[in-house]
Amino acid sequence: MRVALVHDYLTHFGGAERVLLALMEVFPHAPVFTLVHDEERVQLPGDQRRLRTSFLQRLPGARRSHRYLPLALMPLAVEQFDLSSFDVVLSASHSFSKGVIIGPNTLHISYCFTPIRYAWDDSHRYIREFSRSAFFQLFAPAALSYVRLWDYYASQRVQAYITLSNFVARRIRKYYRREAQVIPPPVDVDRFSVTREHENYYLIVSRLVPYKRLELAIEACERLGRPLKIVGVGPEEALLKKKAGHWTSFLGFVSDNDLSLLYRGARALLFPQEEDFGITALEAAASGKPTVAFGAGGALETVLPEVSGLFFAEQTVSAMIKALVEFEQRQWDVAQIRRHAETFSRDIFKARMAQTVNDLWSTCGIGIGK
């Protein structure tokens, strides 16, 4: 079975890139096709000849600023990949890579992180927040209409969908009219160790962008007089720092080794946003630390109520304060929290993906090949 992997962009290292690394281990001989690769920010292990980039790689500034390229170039670039020599194409996609064009004898499986957010459910917010220029505000709606149309028809090229949560599976069903099997992404639980002790601070690990609603956690901790440490960078940093007071500290980018130590020292992870999955709650759980989360989206699938954390029902400061007070009155079993995280381990993800791809090839792919 000749397998090719396709990934949207390799311009920063996050959860999607961790999934790609795990897939590269499951299929060690599969080449990796991607639109753009920033070699300084994302270094892939092993033979670098596995990596194949699109013509966008040669455009000035594309590696660092691909978000500013004309949207029409993305579908054009991904459709240029020649994947005709492969039996199975496995795309790991949150935007364009599921739109590859394959031959009649190739099976396309997509691990879909999400339908393109800025084209579908976040389109109005994207237009408001991406740029205030009159030119952008005038032409962005038409560009997004084009992307939505292309994205829907591209989604129909896929034979089978896998996704990371039931929350995203419902969105795939809504926008693409397709069903998706759920296989949660891998958590490197061995990178974290359990401790019952803590240094009395709450922790946030997140990009600093508006939808994360970090201002709720900042104000709640400031009112209660609880230390809060925030790991991450993003365009909202300056604004959030203005809202912070004595009890909040911003740590910026933190290495994996230092992050594991921060989880160990934390009292709990705070998770005020709605996410597609919520892998940081599982990283905290791998350290024996519970999560106080907004009860919506993927957190409902990563936080086990009364075992690995608790929820608050509204994205308000008062609701978060009430949840923190309740959290501090409870006792938590760190061993039980860790066991919950282990059910999402990297080894389990790799085994499930290998089995699923082989099963799909056995039932669908061989028929295609015939």
125 versus 249: the higher-pLDDT residue is 249
Any residues with CB less than 8 A from the CB of 212 and at least 6 apart, and which? 206, 236, 272, 273
Rounded to whole angstroms, what are the CA distances from 179 to 46, 169, 175?
Answer: 34, 7, 11
152 by Cβ neighbours in 10 Å (0-12 / 13-18 / 19+) ranks as: middle
Q: What is the pLDDT of residue 369?
A: 46
Mean pLDDT lowest for which of 1-5, 61-65, 243-247?
Answer: 61-65
pLDDT band at 78; cut points 50, 70, 90 = very high
The answer to whether domain 3-186+346-369 and domain 189-342 are alike in fold is: yes
Any residues with CB less than 8 A from the CB of 118 and at least 6 apart, and which? 126, 130, 144
Quick one: angle between helices 334-342 and 279-286, nearest 10? Answer: 130
Q: What is the pLDDT of residue 125?
A: 64
Any residues with CB less than 8 A from the CB of 278 and at least 6 apart, and which? 271, 293, 297, 298, 299, 301, 302, 303
Query: Which of 120, 193, 122 shows the shortest CA–CA distance to 151?
Result: 120
DSSP codes, 2-69:
-EEEEEEEESS-SHHHHHHHHHHHHSTT--EEEEEE-TTT---SS-GGGEEE-GGGGSTTHHHHGGGS
pLDDT band at 49; cut points 50, 70, 90 = confident
Give the number of other CB atoms < 10 A from CB of residue 251.
16
pLDDT tens column, 194-216: 988 899 999 999 989 888 999 99
Q: If you ran DSSP here, which 8-state letter would residue 263 be given?
A: H
Distance of alpha carbon 186 from its chain centroid, rounded? 11
Q: What is the pLDDT of residue 42?
A: 81
pLDDT tens column, 156-171: 999 999 999 999 999 9
**Residue 344 half-sphere exposure, CB side, CA atoms within 13 Å?**
28
Would the pLDDT of 280 be above 70? yes
Q: What is the mean pLDDT of the chain?
A: 90
In this prediction, residues 82-105 reach a mean pLDDT of: 93
Q: Over pLDDT 90: what percentage of the chain?
A: 71
Mean pLDDT lowest for which of 131-135, 191-195, 197-201, 233-237?
Answer: 131-135
Q: What is the pLDDT of residue 212?
A: 93
Q: What is the pLDDT of residue 183?
A: 97
Would the pLDDT of 370 be above 50? no
CATH number assigned to the domain with residue range 3-186+346-369, chosen from the 4 options 3.40.50, 2.30.140, 1.10.3470, 2.60.40 = 3.40.50
Per-residue exposure over 160-174, b if at least 16 CB sit within 10 Å of its own CB, e if not: bbbbbbebbbebbee
What is the C-alpha separation between 338 and 343, in angstroms, rounded? 9
Pair 208, 233: CB distance under 8 Å: yes
Residue ranges covered by each domain of the chain: 3-186+346-369, 189-342
What are the structure tokens assigned to 117, written together?
């957010």
Pair 178, 151: CB distance under 8 Å: no
Asked whether the whole model's pTM tops 0.75, one would answer: yes
Residue range 189-342 forms a domain whose CATH class is: alpha beta
- Angle value at C-alpha 277, between 222 and 182, nearest 5 degrees: 165
Would the pLDDT of 33 be above 90? yes
- Going across the sheet that includes 180-182, the strands are 51-53, 32-37, 3-10, 88-93, 107-112, 160-163, 180-182
In this prediction, residues 46-70 reach a mean pLDDT of: 77
Would the pLDDT of 80 be above 90? yes
Would the pLDDT of 61 be above 80? no
DSSP, collapsed to helix, strand or coil, labels residue 283 as helix
In this prediction, residues 278-296 reach a mean pLDDT of: 96
Q: What is the pLDDT of residue 57?
A: 86
In this prediction, residues 319-333 reach a mean pLDDT of: 96
